[in-house]
Structure 1
Amino acid sequence: MGRLNGQVFRQFWTIAKTYWFSEEKWQARGLLLGVVLFLLAYTGLSVVLNSKRGVLISALSAKDESRFWETVVIFIGVLVLYAPLLAGYRYLRDRLSLQWRRWLTNRFLDNYFGDRAYYKLSTSNGEIDNPDQRIAEDIRSFTQESLSFLLVLVESVLAVIAFSGVLWGISRPLVLFLSLYAIVGTLVTTVVFGKPLVRLNFEQLKKEADLRFSLVRVRENAEAIAFYHGEEQEVQQVKYRFLEVFDNVKRLLLWELNLNVLTNAYEFIPFILPALVVAPAIFAGELEVGKVSEAQGAFIRVFFSLNVVVARFQALTTFGAGINRLYTFAEFLEQTAPVEASDATQKPIIETLTADRLALEHLTLQTPNYQRTLVEDLSVAVLPGQGLLVMGSSGCGKSSLLRAIAGLWNSGSGTIVRPDADQILFLPQRPYMVLGTLRDQILYPNTNIEVDDQHLKQILEQVNLADLDERFGGFDAQRDWADVLSLGEQQRLTFARLLLQKPKYAILDEATSALDTPNEAGLYQNLQAIGTTFLSVGHRSTLTEYHQSVLELSPTTWQVKAVAVSQ
């Protein structure tokens, strides 16, 4: 996005209209109407206050005591109304912003997790960086700044209408000069500073997010970095990203310096010009002294209302950059089915059929970019209640085969027959520890089911973690489980999910790689006992004891062997 232009406004409206025409549209529009009514009321009172301030000065100049005290009473009475109106306006504005943020965040989250867009984003689209920042920060900025700019614009229009009438009654040349002066200043500022400031602010958002991400990675991988003694390389990476932030801010500050020099000089004139124009009429006795103050107050309000773009230009450029980041993110999340279908007509995809069995029929699996074939014309079935072990050298496509079964990859041809998602449980190669309690860890992904503590205790005993609840203070204890549990404990805990939920089918990707042979044997024996049909990926030859057949993959061929299972 190069500058503040029609494209920015189109992007803004594409995002904004989803809320204002949603199921909450009447509530949103009602709040907006309330905000505007409060704005109208306190703008009208602002005109009265400005007028009475001039009357106060005129009364003092004329030494008219009764007029002075009468004006003071009116002034205080108006203030009594003005203060709660202004407070109410700000409350309704912020409440509407909060409602909008809640709705828009939920919409983005639904799209982010729907159809596994978060996974597609992590594997196929490098241009959409830091989705966490776009959801948490860019949406907040979008809703707050949208309302802020809209209401500033409405307030400016109201102020121009109200206070221009005051100025017109005092001096018509003031109104004409003021309008021309504000228009010229807005055009100069937008043309000269628009493009570089928007670009630099866009880069700033990205570089700040990259810096935060590098620091988060250090926290999440602290132990691995410590084992490798990788402190020097990590600190250099973080310093490099901070240097990018630093250099971009320097350029940004230089442009802001030039902008501030222009705006400061530009905004000084309105403070002196009204007095210069009105002074001859004051000296001639045609106007009261208080008219200077009244004209100055009205002139400044009209000037800054007309000058809203110049005064808020830096904030506008930051806002424009944020709109572009949010729009590109929304565009990715809301890719339509017809677009995907048109791509599918050019490249083959794997067909998935739903049935109460697990089988691969003439499956040819390719990488998502179709540049490499991993498995060709594979046909194999897992018989009910039995196990299939997938083995082979690293890089031959074992984990990729599981991704295809899970529906994460569909590049290739052939058919995958698999049960419904609620009948199959995947244990990925890297154990996933959710944020929550120990109970949540065991129940995941079905954390809403009711299971008593005694049953959970029995499950922990089956996976050789009998004292886990006691170590951390019970099943409702909350910890950073990925940090406090060893890799072997994490693998046993994820295996507990299988034994508790007893799915009809299970897919295990190196699910016992961090365990010793006795623990591995115990887990697979328990898995066999619950009658689950399972497919495993692994390297250890001892795994063959718990599977009825073995699928051996190589870079060019495959073969299936039957094995004798120990009881």
Structure 2
Amino acid sequence: MTRIVASLVRAQPVPFLLNILRWLLVAIPATWTNSWLSYIQNKLALAYRTRLTREIMQQYLGDDQDKQDLKRFSTHLAALYANVAKPVLDMILYNYQLSQNVGAEGLVLLTIAVQSSAALLRALTPPFGLYTALSAQLSGNLRHTHSRVVEFSEEIAFFGGEHTEKMLVEREYAGLVQHESQVLKKAWWHGCVEEGIIKWLWGSFGLSICAIPIFFKLPGIYKIDLGFITNRRLLLSASDAFGRVMYSYKELAELAGYTARVSELLETMADVRKGKFEKALVSSASTEEHAKVLRGRGIIIESDEIQFENVPIVTPNGDILIRSLSFYVKPGEHLLIVGPNGCGKSSLFRILGGLWPVYGGIVRKPPASQFILIPQRPYLSLGTLRDQVIYPHGKEDMEARGVTDADLLAVLSLVHMDNVVEREGGWEAARDWRESLSGGDQQKIAWARLFYHKPKYAVLDEATSLVPPEMEGMMMDHATRLGITLLTVSHRPSLWKYHSMILQYDGQGGYVFTKLDADKRLALQQEKETLEAKLIEVPKMQARLAELQALRRGEATGKL
């Protein structure tokens, strides 16, 4: 470029055209290099994201916000070279050439002025890294709130809660908009200061340095016009490199924010693996007795049987539902679990499944792989009809077990769902099964899944609430024939006869564990319902008695 300018200033057309040709030849490798750098940067971002995703997915499936944080972190990390290393290298090269033209003294003066103004700019720069992390958190909260509306849209519509849900979504959105507006305002005035310093103040410093050869005749300098043009071009390039370095400060601040988010996720997963549980606790958790329970850790022993010895049932927020639970279930002894809501029925299952920690006592249980959970609203995955029955297995896993589609059809026939294969278009049919199947059919599919896997234990949480009583009995009997021990949460008296043990919570931290005499309990239940019905009639009888007594007193008074 210097030769082109020189030939132009000297009015030499042939050297000018030759220099243009050389410049175009240089453009070929230059454009290839720039495109290659962009390609490598994108490949690096993809590689960072892939490795981080694999590392995290081995420990935690994560949610949409985690994936967005990983994507932004990987993109900003891969852009580190383009944002920092390349501008620094350009700055060194341009400043070296500039020093050859204007002298080292001028470059020292320029460096002092630039460093002073850069320090001022850093002092005036807002904490963009903190703002970035907070923006990611607020965006995640908004997406989570909206996804809940989508997931529970029918329930919300039935309750007429659209105005409440709209208020919640608008509240999250308003918080995000308010934060982004504040950041934009600070970025606006920071941009004004930044451009004023980088473009105009540094430009005036540079022009002053370029004027040195004009006002002070330095030896070894080219013709003044050409030297000024060359120095000005070097100055613009160096200033651009300086500017990119300073602009990269915001990129680094954003990278720091995303790094903090990813680091927090990794540290949290490490704490979980170490058994370190820190969470928001209920106010009663601060008492010494309560805190002592939360500091404790129980012992888990793998066994074919289920036995709890003095195990406290503690919720994630530190609320102790039962201080010491002890019971024993042998294979083949079906256990019925009853009690009011919030007393710890589902909490027991989470401990058996390894989802909650054991804060004390001894737990003997099979590994979590020997349990299958059937909730009131079963989980149906994305995939084919076959996938719903064999979940979490794939077709290859099914075939490796020697199971065919005909075997699956026989399993579906046990729950009177064999017609669904033809109705839905075959085993390969893919649907949103939560929308395609009724609640009762979803529960039947979950039972078919149980019969396919044949685990040692099945956890049934109101798993037959939407199926007819005769189908309920058939499924319970078949599970027993397969050797599956049932742990059932249900308030339906029709299920009592299928269980031999009962664990009854009183809702006040107490419980009773004993053998279940279904006939006797059913007779007592019927007697209780009869007495309750009679008690309901007592106020009416008392009111009628009072009316009759008043009439009798009135007749007696009339006779007198």
TM-score range with shorter-chain normalisation? Answer: 0.7 to 0.9
**How do 1:366-515 residues align onto structure 2 when only pairs under 5 Å count?**
366-368=314-316, 370-374=318-322, 376-382=324-330, 384-447=331-394, 448-450=397-399, 451-515=403-467
3-state SS of paired residue (1:254)? helix
**How do 1:53-72 residues align onto structure 2 when only pairs under 5 Å count?**
53-72=1-20
Residue of 176, 180, 185 corresponding to 1:249: 180
Partner amino acid, structure 2, of 1:320: A
Offset at residue 368 of structure 1 (A): 4.3
Contact 2:294–2:359 (CA under 8 A) maintained in structure 1: no
Contact 2:98–2:231 (CA under 8 A) maintained in structure 1: yes
1:312–1:338: structure 2 CA closer, same or farther, 3 Å change rule?
A: closer
3-state SS of paired residue (1:57)? helix
Q: Does 1:190 align with 2:122?
A: yes
User: Taking CA–CA contacts closer than 8 Å with sequence separation of 6 or more, which of the two structures ends up with the larger relative contact order?
Assistant: 1
Contact 1:549–1:560 (CA under 8 A) maintained in structure 2: yes
1:250–1:329: structure 2 CA closer, same or farther, 3 Å change rule?
A: same
3-state SS of paired residue (1:552)? strand
1:514–1:292: structure 2 CA closer, same or farther, 3 Å change rule?
A: farther
Match of 2:267? 331
Match of 1:300? 236
Offset at residue 337 of structure 1 (A): 5.8
My pick for the range that moved more, 524-533 or 266-275, is 266-275
Q: Does 1:211 align with 2:165?
A: no
Partner amino acid, structure 2, of 1:444: Y
Offset at residue 281 of structure 1 (A): 4.7
Residues 386-442 of structure 1 deviation map (CA, whole Å, 9 limit, x = unaligned): 422112222332212222222223344333222233333232454112222222221
Partner amino acid, structure 2, of 1:422: S
Partner amino acid, structure 2, of 1:74: R
Q: Does 1:178 align with 2:110?
A: yes
1:423–1:208: structure 2 CA closer, same or farther, 3 Å change rule?
A: closer
Contact 1:548–1:562 (CA under 8 A) maintained in structure 2: yes
| Cα distance in structure 2, aligned partners of 1:488 and 1:495 | 11
Match of 2:537? none
1:157–1:443: structure 2 CA closer, same or farther, 3 Å change rule?
A: same
3-state SS of paired residue (2:502)? strand
Residues 46-93 of structure 1 deviation map (CA, whole Å, 9 limit, x = unaligned): xxxxxxx23212212212122112211211111111111111121122
1:190–1:428: structure 2 CA closer, same or farther, 3 Å change rule?
A: farther
Contact 1:364–1:377 (CA under 8 A) maintained in structure 2: yes
1:147–1:389: structure 2 CA closer, same or farther, 3 Å change rule?
A: same
Match of 1:563? 517
| Cα distance in structure 1, aligned partners of 2:117 and 2:467 | 71
Q: Does 1:321 align with 2:321?
A: no
Residues 216-248 of structure 1 deviation map (CA, whole Å, 9 limit, x = unaligned): 111111111111111111111111111111211
Offset at residue 453 of structure 1 (A): 1.9
Partner amino acid, structure 2, of 1:335: D
Contact 1:304–1:311 (CA under 8 A) maintained in structure 2: no
Offset at residue 532 of structure 1 (A): 1.5
Residues 539-566 of structure 1 deviation map (CA, whole Å, 9 limit, x = unaligned): 111111222333322232313123369x
Offset at residue 363 of structure 1 (A): 3.9
Residues 471-497 of structure 1 deviation map (CA, whole Å, 9 limit, x = unaligned): 333222222222332322222111111
Which stretches in structure 1 are left out of the alignment for 5+ residues?
A: 1-52, 119-130
Offset at residue 298 of structure 1 (A): 2.1
Q: Does 1:267 align with 2:221?
A: no
Match of 1:147? 78
Partner amino acid, structure 2, of 1:146: L
Q: Does 1:525 align with 2:482?
A: no
My pick for the range that moved more, 363-372 or 423-432, is 363-372
1:323–1:364: structure 2 CA closer, same or farther, 3 Å change rule?
A: closer
| Cα distance in structure 2, aligned partners of 1:178 and 1:147 | 32
TM-score, length-scaled by structure 2: 0.81
1:453–1:339: structure 2 CA closer, same or farther, 3 Å change rule?
A: closer
Match of 2:69? 138
Match of 2:296? 348
Offset at residue 374 of structure 1 (A): 2.1
Partner amino acid, structure 1, of 2:19: T
TM-score, length-scaled by structure 1: 0.80
Offset at residue 318 of structure 1 (A): 2.5
| Cα distance in structure 1, aligned partners of 2:319 and 2:147 | 33
Match of 1:236? 167
Contact 1:550–1:563 (CA under 8 A) maintained in structure 2: no
Offset at residue 333 of structure 1 (A): 0.9
Contact 2:126–2:186 (CA under 8 A) maintained in structure 1: no
1:188–1:177: structure 2 CA closer, same or farther, 3 Å change rule?
A: same
My pick for the range that moved more, 224-233 or 327-336, is 327-336
| Cα distance in structure 1, aligned partners of 2:443 and 2:229 | 77
Contact 1:58–1:288 (CA under 8 A) maintained in structure 2: no
Contact 1:271–1:296 (CA under 8 A) maintained in structure 2: no
Residues 250-297 of structure 1 deviation map (CA, whole Å, 9 limit, x = unaligned): 211111111111122223335566556546757999526444443233
1:188–1:59: structure 2 CA closer, same or farther, 3 Å change rule?
A: same
1:183–1:483: structure 2 CA closer, same or farther, 3 Å change rule?
A: farther
3-state SS of paired residue (1:335)? helix
Partner amino acid, structure 2, of 1:112: Y
Partner amino acid, structure 2, of 1:506: A
3-state SS of paired residue (2:341)? coil
Which stretches in structure 2 are left out of the alignment for 5+ residues?
A: 279-290, 520-560
Offset at residue 464 of structure 1 (A): 2.2
Q: Does 1:548 align with 2:500?
A: yes
Partner amino acid, structure 1, of 2:332: G
Contact 1:156–1:305 (CA under 8 A) maintained in structure 2: yes
Contact 1:178–1:303 (CA under 8 A) maintained in structure 2: no
Match of 2:526? none
1:518–1:57: structure 2 CA closer, same or farther, 3 Å change rule?
A: same
Residues 192-222 of structure 1 deviation map (CA, whole Å, 9 limit, x = unaligned): 2233x33333322221221122211111111
Offset at residue 107 of structure 1 (A): 0.7
| Cα distance in structure 2, aligned partners of 1:344 and 1:557 | 22
| Cα distance in structure 2, aligned partners of 1:366 and 1:208 | 32
Offset at residue 381 of structure 1 (A): 1.8
| Cα distance in structure 1, aligned partners of 2:196 and 2:310 | 76
Contact 2:271–2:277 (CA under 8 A) maintained in structure 1: no
Contact 1:274–1:292 (CA under 8 A) maintained in structure 2: no
